[in-house]
Every structure is written in structure tokens, then in C-alpha cells.
């Protein structure tokens, strides 16, 4: 029964994230690195997105967002940093 709840939780979180990520990716021309990955297994599931860039005049940006679920529950984590 826990596996069913885990799949439902990850599915419910992954669909809005995937739709939102498509719009964000189309708007960023300065991105130098970006990656998305997901996996699932007997211990849980994870979906993450990372992107970063550095502009010509020293502006930098880093963003990481992860959705995770395992036998202990489901959660989201994000980190964002920038300089001007």
C-alpha cells in the first residue's frame, strides 16, 4: 500500500513540475549548464533539475530543485544563488 501512495505522491508532484520547467527553459537564453534527471527504485523516487550560468559582466546564477519520495514521506527542496 505504501508503494501506491509513493507513486501517487511523485506523480502528483512531477506533472506540474514538468509543465512549469518547459516554460522556464524556453525563456532562458543565457543558460550555460542545465540538467534534469529522475529515477525510481525499491527505496523511493526522485526528480531533480539543476541550471547555472555566468554572464560576460560577472553576473552568475545557480538553481537546483528536487522532488523526492520514499517510505518516510515525500518532500521538495530548492536552492538558489546569484550575484550581480
Tens of pLDDT, residue by residue over 31-82, are 588 899 999 999 999 999 999 988 877 789 999 999 999 999 999 999 999 9
Q: Are 57 and 30 in contact (CB under 8 A)?
A: no
Name the DSSP letter for residue 42. T
Global pTM value: 0.54
Using 50, 70 and 90 to split pLDDT, how confident is the model at 5?
A: low
Please report the pLDDT score of residue 57 as a whole number.
78
Q: Are 69 and 6 in contact (CB under 8 A)?
A: yes
Please report the pLDDT score of residue 12 as a whole number.
62
Res 25 pLDDT > 80: no
Match 546564477 to its residue by C-alpha cell: 61
Using 50, 70 and 90 to split pLDDT, how confident is the model at 84?
A: confident
Tell me how far apart the alpha carbons of residues 21 and 10 are, in angstroms, rounded to a whole number. Answer: 16
Stretch 8-20: mean pLDDT: 61
Cell of 62: 545557480
Amino acid at each position: 500500500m505504501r508503494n501506491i501512495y509513493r507513486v501517487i505522491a511523485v506523480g502528483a508532484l512531477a506533472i506540474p513540475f514538468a509543465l512549469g520547467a518547459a516554460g522556464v527553459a524556453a525563456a532562458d537564453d543565457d543558460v550555460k549548464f542545465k540538467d534534469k534527471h529522475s529515477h525510481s527504485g525499491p527505496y523511493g523516487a526522485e526528480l531533480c533539475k539543476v541550471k547555472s550560468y555566468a554572464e560576460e559582466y560577472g553576473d552568475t546564477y545557480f538553481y537546483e530543485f528536487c522532488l523526492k519520495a520514499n517510505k518516510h514521506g515525500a518532500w521538495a527542496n530548492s536552492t538558489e544563488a546569484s550575484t550581480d
